[in-house]
Amino acid sequence: MGQQSQSLLRHLPSVDQLLSSPQGHELVSVYGRSLTVEAVRATIDQTRQLILGEELTAVPEPVYFTQSAESWLADLIAPSLQPVINATGVIVHTNLGRAPLSQASLDAIQEVGQGYSNLEFDLESGQRGSRTTHPDIPLKQLLDAEASLVVNNNAAAVLLMLTALCQGKEVIISRGQLVEIGGGFRIPDVMAQSGAKIVEVGTTNRTHLYDYERAINENTGAILVAHHSNYKIIGFTSEPPLEELAKLAQSHQILLLYDQGSGALLDTTPFGIPSEVRVPEGLAAGCDIVAFSGDKLLGGPQAGIISGRGDLVQIIKKHPLARAVRADKFCLAGLTTTLGHYIKNEALTQIPVWRMISMPKDDIHALLTQWQHKLSKQGVQSEIDENVSTVGGGSLPGTSIDTWVLAINTNHPQKVANRLRSEKLSIISRIQDGRLLLDPRTVLPQHIEKLHQSLVHCTL
Ligand SMILES: *Cc1c(COP(=O)(O)O)cnc(C)c1O
């Protein structure tokens, strides 16, 4: 170490010196003493390293240290959960927070969050009310179910349904449906957790009605049908339709429970996605209870919805576990508003997930032509390529929607992708075959300008 460095080190301010400066006092009054000490110490250490590396030739003024400490503290307490721009083309992206909410749903959440609400208060009688009633009317209207209960998420819905209705009883399930949905949610584990006894029938690719029938005995509580979600068996496969299972269950006086998963209320076939059993169809087919997510294809906040026979929903509502997994006021406000979009027949225009699914390919091309033109004027060259968007979220396995993507001309796609990710508003892009791709289908309109600025900033 050079002589100069040594003498600089001797002139570094002490922690006490910085704390007793007016700026130091101010920081202590905002952040408290122990955090401020940590922050000041960190900035002194950092400066010491710079001096040792001979990157500094003078000791900065004391205000430099307190200012650095202040930004260190601000970073420390900034929420680590922050918005990102999803340019991956995966619509219900589980790692990126699944469904973006409609404006009206966000407004409803804000209104309820700002003050008090009638969450559990009956405004007519002035007596205690029930939080579970708030989404009742739209759910009844949309599903034609006798009763429904909204809980924290669909994993909780399935656990609660099985615990309340099948604890200690046998539940029959096809081997083809013993799936892991993701994040460690495995159907057999949840069944075991509920206290139900799993009875596996059939084979991975084929399960017949008679497989179920042979497994029924006096201890059987229910047949559980679970949506395959993120996984698909193709080729020589078969599973009995829900209608046949419903008849079988009814004739043996056992329940048919359906974990529908995605919460699809609309037909996906007009958008080139193979049809799946929608929630109302599952109920109409004779399922006693259907459980589904609020934040996959339904496009609402995180929620699990249990719908079906009134007497069974009553039993579920009264189970102690129901309290442990109950939905909060933000969920109830957002979900009820999202459901309202379906009733008003405006889901395709108001619910972001459906707006993205239904976005015509030609519109995407037109949008990309604008992007390409604009970016090119700022020095970012790109090509418009054919590609596919996916629904994601463990919904609709193997299904994709034809789309156009912007492929950025760069020799360092990974480096640019990393830079885009470390922007203040992070951009999550896709790298495929060594190319950096942006799918506009999942980019929200209010983020387009920012995306362009970042592209210019990160590629040049
Ligand atoms: C997604 C899914 C779940 C879990 O739902 P969460 O809302 O993630 O809790 C359970 N079952 C099926 C079939 C699913 O698709």
**CATH code where residue 400 lies:** 3.90.1150.180
CA of 160 to the centre of ligand 1 (A): 13
pLDDT bracket for residue 165 (50, 70, 90) = very high
The residue whose CA has the least distance to atom 13 of ligand 1 is 261
Angle (CA) 226-230-234 rounded to 5° is 85
Q: What is the pLDDT of residues 58-109, one digit of tens each?
A: 999 999 999 999 999 999 999 999 999 999 999 999 999 999 999 999 999 9
The residue whose CA has the least distance to atom 15 of ligand 1 is 261
Distance, in Å, from the CA atom of 406 to the CA atom of 371, rounded to the nearest integer, reads: 8
CA of 304 to the centre of ligand 1 (A): 8
Do 382 and 246 lie in one domain? The reply is no
Do 273 and 165 lie in one domain? The reply is yes
**Ligand 1: nearest atom to the Cα of 226:** 13
Do 331 and 448 lie in one domain? The reply is no
* C-alpha atoms less than 13 angstroms from C-alpha of 402 in its C-beta half-sphere: 9
Q: What is the pLDDT of residues 308-322, one digit of tens each?
A: 999 999 999 999 999
Picking from 223, 229, 214, the residue whose alpha carbon sits closest to that of residue 246 is 223
Q: What is the pLDDT of residues 101-145, one digit of tens each?
A: 999 999 999 999 999 999 999 999 999 999 999 999 999 999 999
Distance, in Å, from the CA atom of 47 to the CA atom of 78, rounded to the nearest integer, reads: 23
Q: Ligand 1 pocket test: which of 154, 276, 295, 391 has the largest number of ligand atoms within 8 Å of its C-beta? A: 154
**Token pair recorded at residue 95:** 């790692």
Do 174 and 224 lie in one domain? The reply is yes
Q: What is the pLDDT of residue 172?
A: 98
Do 246 and 359 lie in one domain? The reply is no
CA of 154 to the centre of ligand 1 (A): 5
Do 398 and 318 lie in one domain? The reply is no
Kindly give, in sequence order, each residue whose CB lies less than 8 Å from that of residue 42, ignoring residues fewer than 6 positions away. Answer: 69, 72
pLDDT cut 90: percent of the chain above it? 88
In this structure, what CATH number is given to the domain that contains residue 133? 3.40.640.10
In total, how many domains does the chain have?
A: 3
Q: Ligand 1 pocket test: which of 232, 293, 391, 399 has the largest number of ligand atoms within 8 Å of its C-beta? A: 293
288, containing H or E segment? none
- Of 347, 366, 395, which residue constitutes the final position of a domain? 347
pLDDT cut 70: percent of the chain above it? 98
Pocket of ligand 1 (CB under 6 A): 153-155, 158, 181, 185, 226-227, 229, 259, 261-262, 293, 304, 394
Do 195 and 117 lie in one domain? The reply is yes
Do 143 and 283 lie in one domain? The reply is yes
CA of 168 to the centre of ligand 1 (A): 23
Do 13 and 53 lie in one domain? The reply is yes
Q: Which range (18-32, 256-270, 375-389, 392-406) has the least confidence?
A: 392-406
Kindly give, in sequence order, each residue whose CB lies less than 8 Å from that of residue 33, ignoring residues fewer than 6 positions away. Answer: 19
Distance, in Å, from the CA atom of 214 to the CA atom of 217, rounded to the nearest integer, reads: 8
Q: Do strands 185-186 and 147-151 pair parallel, antiparallel, or not at all (unpaired)?
A: unpaired
CA of 261 to the centre of ligand 1 (A): 5
pLDDT bracket for residue 304 (50, 70, 90) = very high
At residue 380, the 3 state secondary structure works out as: coil
Helix boundaries (H) for 84-217:
103-114, 136-143, 154-166, 187-193, 209-215
**Token pair recorded at residue 16:** 């006490």
Range of the domain at 396: 84-92+355-459
Distance, in Å, from the CA atom of 273 to the CA atom of 222, rounded to the nearest integer, reads: 31
The residue whose CA has the least distance to atom 5 of ligand 1 is 154
**Token pair recorded at residue 255:** 């329940």
Across the chain, mean pLDDT equals: 94
Residue 357 confidence (pLDDT) above 80: yes
Distance, in Å, from the CA atom of 135 to the CA atom of 125, rounded to the nearest integer, reads: 19
Q: What is the pLDDT of residue 1?
A: 62
At CB < 8 A and 24+ separation, what contacts does 319-322 make?
Answer: 319/160, 319/163, 319/164, 321/159, 321/160, 321/163, 321/164, 322/149, 322/151, 322/160, 322/164
Q: What is the pLDDT of residues 408-437, one digit of tens each?
A: 999 999 999 999 999 999 999 999 999 999
CA of 151 to the centre of ligand 1 (A): 13
CA of 137 to the centre of ligand 1 (A): 24
Q: What is the pLDDT of residue 231?
A: 66
Do 437 and 327 lie in one domain? The reply is no
- Of 319, 347, 375, which residue constitutes the final position of a domain? 347
CA of 242 to the centre of ligand 1 (A): 19
**Ligand 1: nearest atom to the Cα of 302:** 7
Task: Answer positive or negative: Cα dihedral of 295, 297, 298, 304.
Answer: negative
Q: Ligand 1 pocket test: which of 173, 185, 186 has the largest number of ligand atoms within 8 Å of its C-beta? A: 185
21, containing H or E segment? none
Residue 399 confidence (pLDDT) above 90: no
Q: What is the pLDDT of residue 271?
A: 92
- E strand spans, 58-133: 84-86, 121-122, 127-128
Which residue type sits at 262? S
Looking at the DSSP bridge assignments, the partners of residue 60 are none
Q: What is the pLDDT of residue 443?
A: 98
Q: What is the pLDDT of residue 3?
A: 79
Residue 228 confidence (pLDDT) above 90: no
Q: What is the pLDDT of residue 272?
A: 87
The residue whose CA has the least distance to atom 12 of ligand 1 is 261
Kindly give, in sequence order, each residue whose CB lies less than 8 Å from that of residue 176, ignoring residues fewer than 6 positions away. Answer: 202, 203, 204, 205, 206, 207, 228, 233, 237, 239
Do 73 and 138 lie in one domain? The reply is no
Task: Answer positive or negative: Cα dihedral of 358, 361, 362, 368.
Answer: positive
- Say which residue the tokens 């990160």 belong to: 458
Q: Ligand 1 pocket test: which of 98, 151, 181, 277 has the largest number of ligand atoms within 8 Å of its C-beta? A: 181
CA of 181 to the centre of ligand 1 (A): 6
No. of H helices and E strands in the chain?
20, 17
Q: What is the pLDDT of residues 35-49, one digit of tens each?
A: 999 999 999 999 999
CA of 299 to the centre of ligand 1 (A): 14
Residue 396 confidence (pLDDT) above 70: no
Do 383 and 262 lie in one domain? The reply is no
Q: What is the pLDDT of residue 167?
A: 97
Residue 276 confidence (pLDDT) above 90: no
- Of 322, 347, 372, which residue constitutes the final position of a domain? 347
Q: What is the pLDDT of residue 180?
A: 82
Radius of gyration of the chain (CA): 28
**Token pair recorded at residue 45:** 């250490």
Q: Ligand 1 pocket test: which of 258, 259, 305 has the largest number of ligand atoms within 8 Å of its C-beta? A: 259
Which residue type sits at 69? A
At residue 79, the 3 state secondary structure works out as: coil
Distance, in Å, from the CA atom of 15 to the CA atom of 22, rounded to the nearest integer, reads: 13
**Ligand 1: nearest atom to the Cα of 227:** 13
